[in-house]
């Protein structure tokens, strides 16, 4: 079978498509025919070696950590009812491969009939991060929340969750993404490539920032314009606010099984929707990562197997 292999820290273009042995089944195995993997910043940051202090990896390795697929075989000690079911989940041994051997039960989640596998695959590294941000920021209905990276794979879910809580949302994105941000529910939109200070004078004063972009210069520029702010980041473990009365926090912890079930239920009931930019063959992984990294994003890119 084929897999996408990282054998150096030379970045996206160093990835290789290799033939590897099919996984060996055990009593604890659930063998999944992979259908989709999301393209997320974690991928290229790992490939560039930028996460080695935070999440060290040994090379060579199969890239990726989340997937969506169909269960083909079930080991004797696993739930036999999973056979033939749509599932999504994590795999510590990598996910950019045609077959996945899932051996840790909590990391595999069944997808409801009314939720497409494509949509479910956008949850990990997307909707789950957005839900975490909402909870960690202790969002209330009268908050005015400024969101950086508002139209990406996380931001597109985050705007929807914030609007469900009846907050006012200021979306930071590019001009070409204005209509997309409006359709997600953003109340105000700021083009971060233009004069930010002037644009901030035209919108309500935010009391909270949720950062999905991870840009220190951008956060500095925004926070210079305000005194009191509560800043939460999904991308920057450390940041020193401009003003002493501004607070900063970071988290990347799990939302737990109940959190994932909540998000699946919200997709099933049409309370939120997945934003899929495009779906490319997994053989085009280098192109897909370059598009996600360097071009203005509208939702998540998926690879198909």
* Low-confidence residues of the chain: pLDDT under 70: none
Instruction: Identify the CA nearest to 304 among candidates 285, 283, 281.
Output: 281
Instruction: Identify the CA nearest to 302 among candidates 106, 116, 101, 175.
Output: 116
SS3 131: helix
Q: Which residues pair with 249 in a beta bridge?
A: 232
Q: Provide the 8-state DSSP code for 97.
A: B
**pLDDT confidence of residue 53:** 87
pTM: 0.96
Q: Provide the 8-state DSSP code for 209.
A: E
**pLDDT confidence of residue 8:** 98
Q: Provide the 8-state DSSP code for 75.
A: -
Render pLDDT for 252-271 as a digit per residue (tens, 0 to 9): 999 999 999 999 999 999 99
CA distance 234 to 213: 8
Ramachandran bin of 285, using left for φ above 0, alpha for ψ from -120 to 50, beta for the remaining angles: alpha
Terminus-to-terminus CA distance in the chain, angstroms? Answer: 11
Could you give all domains of the chain from N- to C-terminal order, each with its CATH number? 2-122+276-304 (3.90.180.10), 125-250 (3.40.50.720)
CA distance 90 to 69: 11
- Chain center to CA of 167: 22
**pLDDT confidence of residue 296:** 74
Q: How many helices (H) and strands (E) does the chain have?
A: 9, 16
Ramachandran bin of 255, using left for φ above 0, alpha for ψ from -120 to 50, beta for the remaining angles: alpha
């Amino acid at each position: 079978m084929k897999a996408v292999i990282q054998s150096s820290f030379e970045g996206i273009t160093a990835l290789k498509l290799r033939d590897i042995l099919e996984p060996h089944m055990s009593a604890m195995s659930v063998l999944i025919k992979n259908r989709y993997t999301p393209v997320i910043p974690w991928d290229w940051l790992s490939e560039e070696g930028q996460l080695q202090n935070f999440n060290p990896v040994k090379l060579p390795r199969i890239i990726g950590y989340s997937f969506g697929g169909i269960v083909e075989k079930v080991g004797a000690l696993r739930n036999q009812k999973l056979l033939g079911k749509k599932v999504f989940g994590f795999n510590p041994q990598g996910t950019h491969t045609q077959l996945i051997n899932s051996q840790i039960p909590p990391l595999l989640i069944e997808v409801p009939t009314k939720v497409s596998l494509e949509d479910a695959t956008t949850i990990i590294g997307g909707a789950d991060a957005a839900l975490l941000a909402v909870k960690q920021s202790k969002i209330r209905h009268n908050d005015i929340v400024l969101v950086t990276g508002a139209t990406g794979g996380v931001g597109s879910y985050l705007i929807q969750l914030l609007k469900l809580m009846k907050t006012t949302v200021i979306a930071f994105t590019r001009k070409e993404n204005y209509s997309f941000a409006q359709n997600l529910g953003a109340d105000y939109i700021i083009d971060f490539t233009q004069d930010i200070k002037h644009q901030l004078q035209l919108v309500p004063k935010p009391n909270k920032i949720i950062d999905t972009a991870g840009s220190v210069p951008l956060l500095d520029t925004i926070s210079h314009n305000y005194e009191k702010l509560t800043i939460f980041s999904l991308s920057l473990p450390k940041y020193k606010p401009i003003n002493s009365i501004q607070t900063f926090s970071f988290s990347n912890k799990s939302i737990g099984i109940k959190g994932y079930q909540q998000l699946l239920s919200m997709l099933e009931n049409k309370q939120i929707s997945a934003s899929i930019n495009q779906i490319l063959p997994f053989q085009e992984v280098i192109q897909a990562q370059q598009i996600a990294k360097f071009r203005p994003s509208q939702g998540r890119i998926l690879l198909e197997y």
